[in-house]
Chains A and B, each alone.
Chain A
Amino acid sequence: MTYDVIKEAVAKQQSGDKKLSTENRILGKVMTFYIGDQIYGIEIQNVIEIIEMQPITRIPHVPSFIKGIINVRSKVVPIIDIRTRFGKEEIPYTSRTCTIILTMDDITVGIIVDRVADVEDIHSGDISATPESRAVNTNAFIQYMIRSGEDVKMILDVEKLLGDEV
């Protein structure tokens, strides 16, 4: 569900089209959050809401990154811990730990993140494709990156995140 313009921009970037950086249009919005020190982002059209941590009902016989299910206004929503999903070590939940409710093709899930950062515009000039190398284990879930000053924000591919691959 990426905006088509972004796809286009990423493709152009990959093919070395220099025109993009001079144009610098706003292509959409992204919600950013922290896992450890790294900022990640999710395009805003996939985000339903942010809720604080709730008691999670565990479910037997599911992979460890699925923490269980919670009740969001009488809807039962499964919860994924992004840290575990990315193979990072688990840390205790704090008051800043949040659940972001995402949706994609009528599947709804919540993801647990360390803390929510901001909602910001996606400028076409900032977009940068992920490196070809698949050495980094999180790469599989990254759709593209956004550079802003020193920071690099990794925009997640929600489709892959909710996909079957483990």
Chain B
Amino acid sequence: MARIEPGMEAMLDMYFYETNSLLEQLDEILLRTEQANCFDSEDIKEIFRIMHTIKGSSAMMGFDNLSVLAHKAEDMFFVIRENPDVITDVSFVYDLVFQVSDSYKAQIEAIQNHVDGEYESMDFTDLINKLLKARDVLLGETSADAVAPAAGTPAAAAPAVETDSDKTTVKVFFEDGCQMENLRAFLLINTIKEECSFLEFTPSDVETNPETSKTIIDNGFLITFKPLDNVDFVLKQIENALNVQSYEVVAAATAAPAAELPPEPKAVAPAPVAASSAPVAAPVAAPAAPEVKEQSSVEKAQAAVEKAQAASGMQKQNLISVNLAKLDALHDIVGEIITTESMVISNPDLEGLELESFNKAARQLRKLTSELQDTVMSIRMVPLAGVFQKMNRIVRDMRKKLGKEVDFVIEGEETEVDKSIVDSLQDPLMHLVRNCMDHGIEDDVQDRINAGKPEKGTLKLSAQNASGEVIITVQDDGAGIDPEKILAKARKQGILTKPESEYSEKEIQNLILLPGFSTNEQVTEFSGRGVGMDVVKANVEKCGGTIVVDSKKGSGTAFIIKIPLTLAIIDGMEITCGDLVFTVPIATIKESFKAEASQIIRDTTNNEMIMIRGVCYPILRLHEKFGIETKVTDLEEGILLLVETDNKSMCIFADKLIGEQQVVVKPFPKYLARYNIKGEGLSGCTIMGDGSISLIIDTNTLIG
């Protein structure tokens, strides 16, 4: 067990956030370049920079093992950076770096879950040795073709600009409140020292003396350097460095390129705290240093923009990170404001009064509160891109391990859903993607060819908005589900509830979502442990969603997940039954009507049904279901609501309709969690305009 250094706890959150973002960025670069099967020099620099930052911050936080690991990875990339041609076999480098990235994530998770500052310090010796070996191998190759030194680096590729021997002095300011200024300064020095033949900086003991942070905040960080070939290039690196807010050239070299730079402090595009500033700022900086990008500056700039867009899942300008608890609190308050507003506006004291100006003001208030509500909801909405991108990695790993050729297609990753839903979607999606890779896509390419399908399989992950719901589909073009096999397996497991002949194909397919069902005879590393699909189903249902399987034998399987955009506010229809008020989600209501005696049918066991336009629906009497005393027991007297979910329909019988209302869903109090109220068809409650409580009906469980 190791301990987190005292005094560092306050920085932990920021460290986690920063390091995790960097690792995600690293994964993203790796995945992108692996597809292209080559590193371009920008990517190598980027990876180098990421490793370097992680090394620095880990060392500062006292996570020595992480720091050493990053250091070794950095060493390896140092060799690659110096000579990009050395990599003849890229794949082993990828595997190594992915391993590094995974080890990091594992260790960080371990630290994150620490209790009282204690955490398990992992041993990375094996990996470090591998990295060292890789470095040596690469070094061997370097010396072999040392004749072509540093051919690919942009520094060398750029035409050397004649610079005066004068030195340039730059004063750098870091972003307000970015903390650890001294280390950031040190990292900056490290970044540019490769490009400089002379380098001096004040304060000079930034690496070892945290006290210098204050000096840097107050007076800026002074760097005097003599560039190897191009002042602009170094300046650009300073400008693009992490957390640099602005810099000014104090004493410029007399060379021409420097003159192009405005002497006053130059604001750098506000870069998100931890996300790479390089791709974002690159287009901005490109015009400032045309020589550097001379070869094909337009193309490069475009590439940079594309890169920035590709990474846009994580990178948005002007972002702030807010504690989720604060957002939840805000959300609660808005919910209460809406309730209170109804209490005021439809206050019984106002009944019968002619209040023209009050009504006007009330209308205005209502408009504003609804805007407020929309805004608060939108704050919590995050794009699915983050979760979707993680699947990329899983597909990559499995593609390698299983040796299957699969194209992974992502669509609609910009679709936004509530933050809490995004979080709970990650595991189910991961499982589905694994399942499709493992069981969906055929093991034998020949099978695919025989079936007339392209050799390469396709796995598609898509999301789309559809009337208050988000539909996420995981689809493969593999072998599909064999109903015979499923049925046989289900029979063996004893999970069939009715005669086999009564199962429709759809029902059979959905059997695989039941607990304890796994058709794969061989348990693989990735799936087939018998728990899985039912857990996926449970997870999806936990966030108010549904999942169905749609498969055709021979042509593929699709898992379709439908989830609500948000859980907190729904449009509801208020109905009464006895002295209770219920809310039925409007989305599930098909129609409401009064029954006529001629429509009502009773079967032999006296179950009531109703015939509407030639279709027969079962009737559920709310008062019987919930044991409520009511005077309205005659079906013709009360009201019937035709509700439908998942292609199942029925009619709910209640006393009467009150009307439509937008309601804020509140879960039942914690004390009641031990009683299975949810299982009885009530999903929560809501406080109405008059302060009374209405129970929200969960149509899904009620029908099921």
Whether, in the assembled complex, B682 has its beta carbon less than 8 Å from a beta carbon of chain A, the answer is yes
Residues of B within 8 A of A70 (CB): 693
Interface mask (B195-210 → A, CB under 8 Å = 1, otherwise 0): 0000000000000000
Residues of B within 8 A of A66 (CB): 672, 675
Residues of A within 8 A of B677 (CB): 59-62
Most B CB within 10 A of own CB, among A71, A109, A164: A71
User: Once the chains are docked, how many angstroms separate the CA of A60 from the CA of B670?
Assistant: 16
Whether, in the assembled complex, B42 has its beta carbon less than 8 Å from a beta carbon of chain A, the answer is no
Q: Is B676 a contact partner of A61 (Cβ separation < 8 A)? A: yes
Stretch binding the partner chain, chosen from A13-21, A32-40, A74-82: A74-82
Binding site for A on B (CB under 8 A): 335-336, 339-340, 579-580, 625-628, 666, 668-672, 674-677, 680, 682, 685, 687, 691-695
Q: Is the interface of B mostly helix, strand, loop or mixed?
A: mixed
User: Once the chains are docked, how many angstroms separate the CA of A77 from the CA of B675?
Assistant: 15
Interface mask (A37-63 → B, CB under 8 Å = 1, otherwise 0): 000000000000000000101111111
User: Once the chains are docked, how many angstroms separate the CA of A108 from the CA of B673?
Assistant: 12
Q: How far is the CB of B464 from chain A (nearest CB, A)?
A: 35
Q: Is B671 a contact partner of A162 (Cβ separation < 8 A)? A: yes
Q: Is A77 a contact partner of B669 (Cβ separation < 8 A)? A: yes
15 more contacts with CB within 8 A, not counting A57-B580, A69-B668, A107-B670, are A55-B692, A57-B685, A57-B694, A60-B625, A60-B628, A60-B680, A61-B676, A61-B677, A69-B672, A69-B685, A74-B340, A76-B687, A78-B668, A78-B671, A107-B671
User: Once the chains are docked, how many angstroms separate the CA of A61 from the CA of B680?
Assistant: 8
Query: Which of B335, B579, B627, B687 meets A60, CB within 8 Å?
Result: B627
Q: Is A62 a contact partner of B339 (Cβ separation < 8 A)? A: no
Q: How far is the CB of A59 from chain B (nearest CB, A)?
A: 6
User: Once the chains are docked, how many angstroms separate the CA of A80 from the CA of B526?
Assistant: 49
Q: Is A109 a contact partner of B671 (Cβ separation < 8 A)? A: yes
Residues of A within 8 A of B339 (CB): 74
Residues of A within 8 A of B670 (CB): 106-108
Q: How far is the CB of B653 from chain A (nearest CB, A)?
A: 16
Most B CB within 10 A of own CB, among A61, A62, A77: A61
User: Once the chains are docked, how many angstroms separate the CA of A55 from the CA of B688?
Assistant: 13
User: Once the chains are docked, how many angstroms separate the CA of A60 from the CA of B677?
Assistant: 8
Q: Is A76 a contact partner of B675 (Cβ separation < 8 A)? A: no
Most B CB within 10 A of own CB, among A63, A77, A78: A78
Q: How far is the CB of A165 from chain B (nearest CB, A)?
A: 11
Residues of A within 8 A of B691 (CB): 71
Selected A-B contacts with CB under 8 Å, 26 pairs:
A55-B692, A57-B580, A57-B685, A57-B693, A58-B579, A58-B628, A59-B668, A59-B672, A59-B677, A59-B682, A59-B695, A60-B628, A61-B676, A62-B677, A63-B675, A66-B672, A69-B693, A74-B335, A74-B340, A76-B693, A78-B668, A78-B671, A107-B669, A107-B670, A108-B670, A109-B669
Query: Which of B336, B579, B669, B675 meets A69, CB within 8 Å?
Result: B669
**Residues in A72-115 with C-beta less than 8 Å from chain B:** 74, 76-78, 106-109
Q: How far is the CB of B200 from chain A (nearest CB, A)?
A: 58
User: Once the chains are docked, how many angstroms separate the CA of A58 from the CA of B529?
Assistant: 44
User: Once the chains are docked, how many angstroms separate the CA of A106 from the CA of B680?
Assistant: 25
Q: Is B675 a contact partner of A61 (Cβ separation < 8 A)? A: yes
User: Once the chains are docked, how many angstroms separate the CA of A61 from the CA of B580?
Assistant: 14
Q: Is B669 a contact partner of A74 (Cβ separation < 8 A)? A: no
Residues of B within 8 A of A77 (CB): 669
Residues of A within 8 A of B672 (CB): 59, 62, 66, 69, 78
- Identify the closest chain B residue to A63 (Cβ): B675
Q: Is A76 a contact partner of B676 (Cβ separation < 8 A)? A: no
Q: How far is the CB of B450 from chain A (nearest CB, A)?
A: 56
Q: How far is the CB of B512 from chain A (nearest CB, A)?
A: 31
Residues of B within 8 A of A69 (CB): 668-669, 672, 685, 693
Q: Is A57 a contact partner of B669 (Cβ separation < 8 A)? A: no
Q: Is A76 a contact partner of B626 (Cβ separation < 8 A)? A: no
Q: How far is the CB of A132 from chain B (nearest CB, A)?
A: 29
Q: How far is the CB of A53 from chain B (nearest CB, A)?
A: 14
User: Once the chains are docked, how many angstroms separate the CA of A74 from the CA of B672?
Assistant: 17
- Identify the closest chain A residue to B686 (Cβ): A76
Query: Which of A57, A60, A107, A109 meets B692, CB within 8 Å?
Result: A57
Residues of B within 8 A of A109 (CB): 669, 671
Shortest 9 CB-CB contacts between residues of A and residues of B = A60-B626, A57-B693, A74-B336, A61-B680, A62-B675, A78-B669, A107-B671, A78-B671, A107-B670
Q: How far is the CB of A146 from chain B (nearest CB, A)?
A: 27
Residues of A within 8 A of B668 (CB): 59, 69, 76, 78
- Identify the closest chain A residue to B676 (Cβ): A61
Residues of A within 8 A of B336 (CB): 74
User: Once the chains are docked, how many angstroms separate the CA of A59 from the CA of B672?
Assistant: 10
Q: Is A76 a contact partner of B680 (Cβ separation < 8 A)? A: no
Q: How far is the CB of B673 from chain A (nearest CB, A)?
A: 9
Q: Is B671 a contact partner of A108 (Cβ separation < 8 A)? A: yes
Residues of A within 8 A of B676 (CB): 61
User: Once the chains are docked, how many angstroms separate the CA of A69 from the CA of B671?
Assistant: 11
Residues of A within 8 A of B335 (CB): 74
- Identify the closest chain A residue to B579 (Cβ): A58
Interface mask (A128-166 → B, CB under 8 Å = 1, otherwise 0): 000000000000000000000000000000000010100
Residues of A within 8 A of B695 (CB): 57, 59
User: Once the chains are docked, how many angstroms separate the CA of A77 from the CA of B666?
Assistant: 11
Residues of B within 8 A of A63 (CB): 675
Contacts A74-B336, A162-B671: A58 and B580 contacting too (C-beta < 8 A)? yes
Q: Is A76 a contact partner of B669 (Cβ separation < 8 A)? A: yes
User: Once the chains are docked, how many angstroms separate the CA of A122 from the CA of B682?
Assistant: 43
- Identify the closest chain A residue to B581 (Cβ): A57
Residues of A within 8 A of B579 (CB): 58
User: Once the chains are docked, how many angstroms separate the CA of A55 from the CA of B670?
Assistant: 20
Residues of B within 8 A of A108 (CB): 669-671
Q: How far is the CB of A107 from chain B (nearest CB, A)?
A: 5
User: Once the chains are docked, how many angstroms separate the CA of A69 from the CA of B670?
Assistant: 12
Residues of B within 8 A of A60 (CB): 625-628, 677, 680, 682
User: Once the chains are docked, how many angstroms separate the CA of A107 from the CA of B580?
Assistant: 25
Q: How far is the CB of A58 from chain B (nearest CB, A)?
A: 7
User: Once the chains are docked, how many angstroms separate the CA of A78 from the CA of B695?
Assistant: 13
User: Once the chains are docked, how many angstroms separate the CA of A55 from the CA of B690?
Assistant: 12
User: Once the chains are docked, how many angstroms separate the CA of A63 from the CA of B626?
Assistant: 13
Residues of A within 8 A of B666 (CB): 76
Residues of A within 8 A of B694 (CB): 57
User: Once the chains are docked, how many angstroms separate the CA of A164 from the CA of B691?
Assistant: 30
User: Once the chains are docked, how many angstroms separate the CA of A71 from the CA of B688?
Assistant: 10
User: Once the chains are docked, how many angstroms separate the CA of A60 from the CA of B335?
Assistant: 26
- Identify the closest chain A residue to B336 (Cβ): A74
- Identify the closest chain A residue to B674 (Cβ): A164
User: Once the chains are docked, how many angstroms separate the CA of A119 from the CA of B100?
Assistant: 63
Residues of A within 8 A of B628 (CB): 58, 60
User: Once the chains are docked, how many angstroms separate the CA of A106 from the CA of B676?
Assistant: 20
Q: How far is the CB of A47 from chain B (nearest CB, A)?
A: 16
User: Once the chains are docked, how many angstroms separate the CA of A77 from the CA of B335?
Assistant: 17
Residues of A within 8 A of B674 (CB): 164
Q: How far is the CB of B683 from chain A (nearest CB, A)?
A: 13
User: Once the chains are docked, how many angstroms separate the CA of A36 from the CA of B677?
Assistant: 32
User: Once the chains are docked, how many angstroms separate the CA of A66 from the CA of B579?
Assistant: 17
